[in-house]
């Protein structure tokens, strides 16, 4: 089974030995994200909403990289957030 590792500079670097995301068999598997600002490497301070916004920015960056590689039309995490 082929897999493609996704790494995006607009999302925080993994803290452990894992990838930001992997594409395999037509699926994108993302790692769990926390509210780390990739520019500072620090946890976002502020409200719960501020932290959730950062998590979705991180996921968006990763999914956009995956979309560029797959040349497809991945659903954006903003669509998921509207359901929550």
pLDDT in tens, 32-49: 999 999 999 999 999 999
- Residue 84: helix, strand or coil by DSSP? coil
- Provide the whole-model pTM: 0.75
Share of the chain above pLDDT 70, in %: 80
Which CATH number is 61's domain given?
3.30.1330.40
Residue-range definition of the domain harbouring residue 65: 3-83
Report how many domains make up the chain. 1
Q: What would the pLDDT profile of 18-31 be if each residue is shown by its tens digit?
A: 999 998 888 888 99
Residue 12: pLDDT over 70: yes
């Amino acid at each position: 089974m082929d897999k493609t590792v996704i790494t995006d500079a607009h999302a925080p670097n993994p803290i452990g030995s894992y990838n930001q995301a992997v594409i395999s068999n037509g699926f994108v598997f993302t790692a769990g994200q926390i509210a780390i600002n990739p520019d500072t490497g620090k946890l976002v301070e502020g409200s719960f909403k501020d932290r959730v916004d950062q998590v979705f920015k991180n996921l968006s960056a990763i999914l956009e990289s995956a979309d560029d590689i797959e040349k497809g039309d991945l659903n954006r995490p903003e669509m998921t957030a509207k359901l929550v």
